[in-house]
Structure 1
């Protein structure tokens, strides 16, 4: 069986048994196809590769200057594939079992200041019509709830509760959570709902049916909803209008801002974990640098000995 067929089988399993999202599956495919290409250049395949072959591929990545995180991710995908092949009885061994990826430091998330966020919202307020209403609703929901960009653009129309005070969000692995909304976010959603129909596709019943289900429909996207890429462009345009560097502003940076600003203003880590939809608190702990800075400031300003 060819590597392409093995990758397809593995991805089918990930989708059916693990509930992996399309974005996750696409990422796995890219990493596994890259590894397959490297093995093929050595006359090897996933069925015939040895530990030495995989190590040679990793060394090649290092020589090419690939980052430690990229190399580690590709090894992780390869290890998962070999575990699958072993479990399915297609291989009698797992050549990647004892391998560990390159050590990598976990980078701190890029953080926007509260002043930067205020500037971003001020620029969105200046937008008029349907475009402005949509931009403000997107920004308010993202910053008020800390959603992942995929969670945001795929929100269903009925994700907003009747009182419009919370959102039903479907996260990774199909896990659902309730996200409370701020009064400005609730107002922005109400304003958007009054003009939302103007963004629905016209003259195409099937496209209309697809788009009708989403809070942020799209008349151009095949998926029926605003795409991640479309929202990223909207955000960069607003950032430029706000006088911010568009290269430093992304949906994920706003998610980081949500978490760091909550912590800086007194929220506890466990609550932020719940709001972000992290399965493991260790993922949320990347934001503890904010807590550390707050505690340092507290000691410097409030401790009696600090005044001596």
Structure 2
């Protein structure tokens, strides 16, 4: 239930909301969210005999700590702090305050969200779903195998051309972000599936047509990312995978499983085409969480 601002604070808060609408043109939903946060702040202060223009730094610290204690996430608390900061900067600008009660209060560290991945068993189940006797599913199997074996971005996969394949060497040459090229090994299973598809399913899909795209659509054109995403969802349902997955989930699984098996982080960085090692380091956190989960599940004192 929304809490009401104190009588002394409500005009001050409403003026600020009006200013937000005039100066920034925020949506009604955003304005209501700001108003709700500020009304709740005012209500809490009123219980302490204070108000939004009377409070101090200690009040703000206590309030934020209480919000975290009630189970609010670091992200929600950071958003609340941002709302309050904007409010007090406006009051300083308008000359209603001499000091900012939120000065030098740091926002909680959010960290980077861990990428969604799949277990190795889930990946095996997913890759086993396409039927090699159906041309379009043979294509899909080759795509899934290559996506997982080489850690490609879905845009790199659907736009793959014959000139990028090194079938004799078992590698694929990929042009990633920033037009940076990288050579990535396919692995034996992906190479085997790809060669079988090139001999069988692909000629059936093209029906005597021509295309330089390795994985054409039914119409012989480059497949869209959305189309492939729907194909992945189809096989995930068949495999009984309940988690929401996308083609990018297989790229994350590729990196996570490499790190789990001891691959050097800089090698994973090169394979993924990350320009900065810090981007790749997220997978060390994924591996650490997996180890902790295994320890909790199997150690007698976990």
TM-score by length of 2: 0.60
- Who is 2:228 aligned against? 231
Instruction: State the SS of the aligned residue for 1:178.
Output: strand
Q: How does 1:66-105 map to 2 (within 5 A)?
A: 104-105=110-111
Pick closer, same or farther for the CA change 1:155–1:163 going to 2, 3 Å: same
Taking the aligned partners of 2:287 and 2:119, their CA distance within structure 1 comes to: 15
Contact kept? 1:164, 1:186, Cα under 8 Å: no
More helix by share: 1
Instruction: State the SS of the aligned residue for 2:122.
Output: helix
Contact kept? 1:142, 1:255, Cα under 8 Å: yes
- Provide Cα deviations, 1:132-154, integer angstroms capped at 9, x if missing partner: 31011101100001101000100
Is 1:53 matched with 2:24? yes
Unmatched tracts of structure 1, length 5 or more: 1-40, 44-51, 73-100, 203-207, 301-305
Alpha-carbon distance, 1:110 to partner: 1.0
Is 1:199 matched with 2:205? yes
- Who is 1:63 aligned against? 33
Pick closer, same or farther for the CA change 1:116–1:218 going to 2, 3 Å: same
- Who is 1:132 aligned against? 137
Alpha-carbon distance, 1:121 to partner: 1.5
- Who is 1:113 aligned against? 119
Is 1:183 matched with 2:188? yes
Is 1:153 matched with 2:158? yes
Instruction: State the SS of the aligned residue for 1:177.
Output: strand
Contact kept? 2:21, 2:31, Cα under 8 Å: no
Taking the aligned partners of 1:104 and 1:110, their CA distance within structure 2 comes to: 17
Unmatched tracts of structure 2, length 5 or more: 1-19, 37-74, 80-106
- Who is 2:41 aligned against? none
Pick closer, same or farther for the CA change 1:289–1:198 going to 2, 3 Å: same
Counterpart selection for 2:266 from 259, 264, 270: 270
- Who is 2:214 aligned against? 215
Report the aligned-residue RMSD: 3.7
Taking the aligned partners of 2:148 and 2:218, their CA distance within structure 1 comes to: 25
- Who is 1:242 aligned against? 239
Number of residues paired by the alignment?
Answer: 210
TM-score by length of 1: 0.59
The structure with the largest alpha-carbon Rg is: 2
Taking the aligned partners of 2:272 and 2:29, their CA distance within structure 1 comes to: 36
Contact kept? 1:168, 1:177, Cα under 8 Å: yes
Alpha-carbon distance, 1:291 to partner: 4.0
Contact kept? 1:201, 1:220, Cα under 8 Å: no
Contact kept? 2:268, 2:280, Cα under 8 Å: yes
Alpha-carbon distance, 1:201 to partner: 6.9
Instruction: State the SS of the aligned residue for 1:248.
Output: coil
